[in-house]
Amino acid sequence: MSGVVTTYHQRIAQEKRALIVAAATALFLELGYDRTSLARIAERSGVSRATLFKQFPSKAALFDAMVTESWSTADEEDPPPAGNVVDGLSTIGRRYAELLSRAQMTDLFRIVIAELPRFPELANAQFSHGKMPYFESVRGYLLAEHEAGTVRVEDVDLAATQFLGMISNYVFWPTLLVPGWQVSAERVAQVVDEAVRTIVARYAAPARSDI
C-alpha cells in the first residue's frame, strides 16, 4: 500500500482501477446490485469492458472491492478525547450521528442490507466499520467510570447499546426509509444531548430497587 516500486505501467492500471471502483460505487449505490451492469460501469468509468474483466474477475469481486473501499473512508476518525463522561459520550454520540447522517453511508447500508443474503461476510464489515468502534468507545467510557465509582452500570454492553440506539433510532431510520430525508444539525445535537442526559440520569441516579 505504501509508495512501492511504482512501475509506471502499473500506475495507469491503478488509475483505471480507481476509475472503475468510483463508477461502480456510484452505480451500485444508485441502482442496486442486479440493476447495475458491467457494461454501464465500463461506460461510466470511461474504460473498456476488457479492462474491467482484467482488473476484476467477476461482478461479485468488484462489488466487494467497492464496499471495502467505501468503508475505508469512514475510518479516518482519531480516538475520542479524554474527559468526563458527559463530554465523552456527547462527542462520540455526535460523531456517530454524523456518520449515520451521511447520504453515502445511508446508501451503502441500504445495499449491504439488501445483498446480505448473497454476501453474508459483509455483515462483519458492517459491524467492524459501523457500529463497533462507537460501541467500544461508549463501552470504555462507561466501564472506566463504573470502576471509578462515578456511575453504577451492571450491564455495560446493554447501556452502550441503549445509548447508541437512542441516537440511531432518531437519526438513522428516517434517513434510511425516506429518500432525501434530512435532520437538522441542531436537532441532531439536541437528540444526542438528550441521550446523554438519559443515560446519565439512569446510571448515575441512586439505585431504586423498587421500580
- Judged by the rule CB under 7 A, the positions of this chain that interact with DNA are 6-10, 12-13, 16, 35-40, 46-51, 53-55, 57-60
Partner from a copy of itself, DNA, none contacting 117, C-beta within 5 to 8 A by type: a copy of itself
Q: For the beta carbon of residue 205, count every other beta carbon within 10 angstroms.
A: 10
**Closer of 40 and 202 to DNA (Cβ):** 40
Contact 93, 195 (CB under 8 A): yes
CB 209, min distance to DNA, A? 59
**Closer of 52 and 166 to a copy of itself (Cβ):** 166
CB 85, min distance to DNA, A? 50
Q: For the beta carbon of residue 29, count every other beta carbon within 10 angstroms.
A: 18
Helix ranges (H only) for the chain are: 8-31, 38-45, 49-55, 59-72, 85-101, 103-115, 122-126, 132-148, 156-177, 185-204
CB 8, min distance to a copy of itself, A? 41
Nearest 5°: the CA angle 32, 11, 49 is 40
**Closer of 131 and 146 to a copy of itself (Cβ):** 131
**Closer of 115 and 145 to DNA (Cβ):** 115
